[in-house]
Amino acid sequence: MKKTIFTFAIVALLASCQSAPEGETAATAEKQEAATGTGNVYNVDKTASTVSFVGSKPVGTHMGDFLLSEGSFTINEGNITAGNFSIDINSMKITDKEIDAESAGKLQGHLLSPDFFDAAKFGTAKFEITSCVALTGDSTATHTIGGNLTLKDSTKNVTFPAKVTLSDKGATATADFNIDRTQWGLFYGNDKSLGDKFIYPEVKIKFNIVANK
């Protein structure tokens, strides 16, 4: 009986352990020249657009959303030829499924502190498109997008698959990919010797960008 209880305890412990967020990791390179293109300009709908994140450690997962402060796409002949948007870091909202208001406030405060985003100094993150190439034969993505992602005072180019929908009235772009936060200088907790307090360097980023003509 004791052996059975012990076995169940081990299974429960393993089930409770978290791993790094699943998903495709964006290819990362040095900053590149932003795309410049002609065409119709679609302004980002700040009320309908969000940028989300998922971070994890061995004992849990944290999620949150950011709002956009500005942005636009330039579209010509059914393709995005240029674009950029700015992310309001101070708009962060914790979206963990089971968290009370006090804990959410403490987590938000820590993430906005110099340990992570240092929002008092770097209140805006940015993304500017460097390339947008149409895909064929992919059921989940329509384009491969490359862009310069600026977090704090670091800028890296990331390339990832995205689903882009264009019409005469608007455009939407959704994407879901992982980055290694340490490449942008976010090192806090990135030491496996910390045990349960270790925070995986991989962070999932989700774009849901809506723009109107």
Would you state the pLDDT for residue 213?
86
Cα(116)–Cα(99) distance, integer angstroms = 20
Spell out the domains of the chain, with CATH numbers in brackets: 18-212 (2.40.128.110)
Q: Is the pLDDT of residue 211 over 90?
A: yes
3-state secondary structure of 7: helix
Cα(145)–Cα(160) distance, integer angstroms = 6
Would you state the pLDDT for residue 20?
64
Would you state the pLDDT for residue 18?
58
Would you state the pLDDT for residue 10?
34
Q: Is the pLDDT of residue 16 over 60?
A: no
Read off the pLDDT of each residue in 197-208 and give the average, rounded to a whole number: 95
Q: For 73-115, how does the pLDDT look when each residue is reduced to its tens digit (9 = 90+)?
A: 999 988 899 999 999 999 999 999 989 999 999 999 999 999 9
Beta strands 143-151; 27-30: pairing state? unpaired
Would you state the pLDDT for residue 116?
97
Phi, psi dihedral angles at 175 (to 5 degrees):
-155, 160
Cβ-count burial of 131 within 10 angstroms (0-12 exposed, 13-18 middle, 19+ buried)? middle
Read off the pLDDT of each residue in 128-145 and give the average, rounded to a whole number: 93
Q: Please tell me the pTM assigned to this model.
A: 0.87
